[in-house]
Amino acid sequence: MDELVVPNTPRGKPGGKNEELDLGEIVRLFLRHKFLLAFLVITAVITASLEHLSFPSFRVIAMISVANSDNSYTQALTSRLTGAAGGGVLQADSYHEVPEKYFQHLASFDYFLSVAKAVHQSKEFETLNPDLFLRKTLIESLRHRVKKFLFHEDADVNHTFSDDRLASILTGWLTFGKSGTDNIVVTATTSDPALTLFIINIAADSAVKYITEHEVKELNEGGSYLKVQLDEAEREIKNTDALITDFKRSNQLVSMDMAQGDSNTLAVGLRHQLEDVDITIAENNKLLKHLANSQRLQLAEVSKEDQAANTKSKYGIGHKIVDLERENQYLEARRETVKRVLDELMRNQDPHMEQRIFDLRKKVELQYSLYQELKKQTFQVEMERIFVQNRVRFFEKARDFNVVRSLTLNKKILIAVVIAFLIGGFGAYLWELVVPRIKNRYDLDDLNTIYLGGIPDMSRVPSVQRVFVNAVTNKKGQIDRTGAILCRFDIDSPSAMAFKHIRTRILHLSERSGGHDQIISVHSAQVGEGKTFISANLASCIAHLKRKVLLVDCDLRRGTTSEIFRTKSLVGLSEVLSAEEKFGAVVKRNVLPLLDLLPSGRNNQDATEMIASGRFAELLEDLRSIYDYIILDTPPVIVVPDSGLIAQHADMVLMLADCNSSIKENLSTAIETILNLKQKRIYSILNRLEGSRQDYVYVVPDRILEARIGRKSAAVEPVSMSGSGFPPPKQGS
């Protein structure tokens, strides 16, 4: 027979395997393991309730406020003072939120040790019951019992509490967090409300003292360091002043500005003075020459009578000439002096002395800058000390009405249920990894079968519900199974449409083989995977095409096909194979139009031997000439060997798998069993395929067909014919 692989790609990645784990797959995983999940959820609810009653925990919080320049006048004042001093790393304005170092202080064991000492010093500690300090949570109790059982250690024997032991207990009771930007939240959780209130107030007060002490200690250490550095800077400045004095004395300098280190600048100034003197002398000489000429001309033109009158004028010009000559003499003397100084300066110029003066000046500048910075830092430390004394304070003290249960019973149950679902889901996922199940057509392809199609989950079909879900019994107390035949009256229903698709593929395969595929056996690996349901509906669906069909119940141990068609018969295939009855006497003709039924007969313990006998093969060969198609409903392959023997005589072997229920390894074993007996291609059908029934809603809905089926079933009665011999020849198809 030619192979035929019919593509039936599910929604998802086209032409490939959809590996995405969507929400629907998770829900189906939970439904497949609903009993495990129900057990875990019930256990979680009971455990949460017992834990809530047996191990109570009470919680209360206290607030510690951290002041800054935004919410405290003192901090604002110190912030302005430090800002006026020039700013620095210790400015108060930088504290706009709780520093992380505060939480590091509170997480240290020294802090819990200080709280333990404060608890021991309190008068209320003597009135408390010591057992309150020994109560544990559920996890702590279990850990304590395990340690006691394995190592024979019992820490609760000694009821005396040292500071270290009490501090260790407090580390599990106290937690710290941040509220906003300027508050520290202290949370205490114990097994007694009075103890919780007592511990929280002492812990918060100790936290304020502990943080303040550490801050003051750090500032004192910083102030001491600054004082040492300031004294060192003062000594360096004094040493540098003495060094400069010795340098000026050794070089005979009155000032560092007159030293030869400034010779270049001084030389430039002296040259400028020489130029000014030369210019002034030249101008004076020009003026003297002009005045002398003016005096001679004036004397030649004036008469003797007027000379006496011009004596005063003459005296004035001569006086100017005398003054200019004196000034020139002074300038000449000054020029000689400047030249002599300039020459001496250039002769005595020393580059090493100039560098030495530069180094001394730079050293003085750096020392004075460091000194000024240290003075600023010292002032800021003093301001910071005032700031720290009032920065951390106990803002809100805990009261009796603030004590509450740490978690309500509803929250504990909710958390327990969520954990149960997580554990159950993870366990179910691991279980399915260890024991894989058939989930889609690709799992069947992995087993080297040809996939014909899938049957959707019919559990919501009303007629099927009355058979398998909410069983309806008749007056005699027997279950009415006639609703399992979805193709009984109307094959155009959405529920029957899946069988039409499979029927079409089977007929196509039969035509390709030349019409020789008449005998079709339906198999499954385990019990309860829907063989009888599929066989009956497939036979009914083929009969609707005017083909003569025979449905044979080959399960000689637990045959139930006759119950679906309302036929009462104590004889069937067993009696035919044992030659007690003839085929014509036991076959139930026209249980549906063109559909005959051969029941299984009485339960027989020698079923395997009867199937293996030649009588079964002869019977099938004789029936080929009477029926167009023969559907064989077989027992489970793994349970009994009958199914493999029946497959030897079938033209087409259909292997049925229950979606999300059939174990892949069992199905593989069943296929291998059949292939060992009959080397033939096996076709597969996936039953109870979830979410695929919606593909057939185009046709008449089931709810409309229910009334139609009810009316027709009242008018049609099953026909039971008995007689000898074979049925009449096949009707035209």
**Same domain flag for 109 and 209:** yes
Q: Which of 386, 416, 434 is the last residue of a domain?
A: 434
**Same domain flag for 467 and 567:** yes
**Same domain flag for 446 and 576:** yes
Give the C-alpha separation, 94 to 70, whole Å.
Answer: 11
pLDDT given for residue 294 in this prediction: 80
Residue 571 lies in a domain: yes
Residue 236 lies in a domain: no
487 burial level (CB within 10 Å; 0-12, 13-18, 19+): buried
473 DSSP 8-state letter: B
**Same domain flag for 271 and 206:** no
**Same domain flag for 219 and 98:** yes
pLDDT given for residue 256 in this prediction: 59
C-beta of residue 111 within 8 angstroms of C-beta of residue 144: no
469 DSSP 8-state letter: I
Give the C-alpha separation, 251 to 264, whole Å.
Answer: 18
pLDDT given for residue 670 in this prediction: 92
Give the C-alpha separation, 281 to 287, whole Å.
Answer: 10
Where would I find the beta strands (DSSP E) of 616-725?
Answer: 629-633, 652-658, 682-689
Residue 242 lies in a domain: no
C-beta of residue 416 within 8 angstroms of C-beta of residue 46: no
Give the C-alpha separation, 180 to 188, whole Å.
Answer: 19
Q: In the structure encoding, which two tokens stand for residue 284, read together?
A: 């004076």
Question: Count of domains in the chain?
Answer: 4
Residue 1 lies in a domain: no
Residue 722 lies in a domain: no
Q: Which amino acid, one-letter code, is at 331? A: L
Q: Which amino acid, one-letter code, is at 636? A: P
Give me the helix-helix angle, 351-389 and 193-250, nearest 10°. Answer: 160
**Same domain flag for 647 and 711:** yes
Q: Which of 390, 417, 434 is the last residue of a domain?
A: 434
Picking from 388, 353, 155, the residue whose alpha carbon sits closest to that of residue 263 is: 353
Residue 231 lies in a domain: no
Residues 6 or more apart whose CB falls under 8 angstroms from that of 485 comprise 536, 537, 540, 564, 565, 592
**Same domain flag for 446 and 536:** yes
| Phi, psi at 592, each rounded to 5° | -135, 160
pLDDT given for residue 599 in this prediction: 92
Give the mean pLDDT per block of 10 residues along the chain (733 residues).
Answer: 38 43 78 88 90 79 75 52 49 59 90 91 80 62 63 55 85 86 86 86 90 88 89 89 81 56 68 85 85 76 57 62 84 85 65 74 87 87 79 73 79 92 91 87 89 83 56 52 61 76 89 82 91 90 91 89 79 89 90 91 85 90 93 92 90 91 91 83 88 49 48 41 36 38
Q: Which domain holds residue 473?
A: 437-715
pLDDT given for residue 40 in this prediction: 93
Question: Using only C-alpha atoms, what is the Rg of the chain?
Answer: 57
**Same domain flag for 217 and 298:** no
Give the C-alpha separation, 654 to 633, whole Å.
Answer: 10
How far from the centroid of its chain's Cα atoms is residue 286's Cα? 101
**Same domain flag for 425 and 401:** no
**Same domain flag for 503 and 428:** no
**Same domain flag for 684 and 535:** yes
Helix (H), strand (E) counts: the chain: 25, 13
Residue 699 lies in a domain: yes
Residue 401 lies in a domain: yes
The CATH number linked to 292 is 1.10.287
pLDDT in tens, 365-421: 888 888 889 888 888 888 888 777 777 776 667 777 778 777 788 888 999 999 999
**Same domain flag for 521 and 651:** yes
Burial letters for 147-184: b for 16+ Cβ neighbours within 10 Å, e otherwise? eeeeeeeeeeeeeebeeeebbebbeebbebeeeeebbb
Q: Which of 368, 388, 416 is the last residue of a domain?
A: 368
Give the C-alpha separation, 48 to 41, whole Å.
Answer: 10
The CATH number linked to 549 is 3.40.50.300
